[in-house]
Amino acid sequence: AQSVTQLDSQVPVFEEAPVELRCNYSSSVSVYLFWYVQYPNQGLQLLLKYLSGSTLVKGINGFEAEFNKSQTSFHLRKPSVHISDTAEYFCAVGGRFQGKSTFGDGTTLTVKP
């Protein structure tokens, strides 16, 4: 069984400040980890993914995430956020069949001017 916990439901931050969105996961098998972003009235789009190899993965829009196997975490970071980063962010774990991914409850990132 797989589960994902996003530790913060809402994260307010000022423009140009750094941000970290936290995600813990559990899985009994090897996992693939993803972060997706959802803007209002849209579907989800992929930010980045971890399949194997380097534990630091870089994604679109300046985001990066670090896979920590011992802490079963996959936190998302950005050194300097913009107003346009305001959105909901989802952490997800996928197994052998990607169609059946398990998503966290989401973190709403609000960037204030």
Partner 1 sequence: KAGVTQTPRYLIKTRGQQVTLSCSPISGHRSVSWYQQTPGQGLQFLFEYFSETQRNKGNFPGRFSGRQFSNSRSEMNVSTLELGDSALYLCASSQSDPGSPLHFGNGTRLTVT
Closest distance between partner 1 and the C-beta of residue 57, in Å?
A: 12
Closer to partner 1 at the Cβ: 15 or 95?
95
Closest distance between partner 1 and the C-beta of residue 86, in Å?
A: 18
With helix as H, strand as E and coil as C, how does 67-82 read? EECCCCEEEEEECCCC
Closest distance between partner 1 and the C-beta of residue 18, in Å?
A: 25
Binding site for partner 1 (CB under 8 A): 32, 34, 36, 41-46, 49, 51, 90, 92, 94, 96-106
Closest distance between partner 1 and the C-beta of residue 1, in Å?
A: 12
Within 10 Å of residue 67's Cβ, how many Cβ atoms? Answer: 20
Closer to partner 1 at the Cβ: 69 or 113?
69
Kindly tell me the burial class for residue 57, based on how many C-beta atoms sit within 10 Å of its own C-beta (0-12, 13-18, 19 or more).
Answer: buried
Closer to partner 1 at the Cβ: 3 or 80?
3
In the chain, which ranges are continuous DSSP H helix? Answer: none
Written as six digits, the tokens of 12 are 């307010």
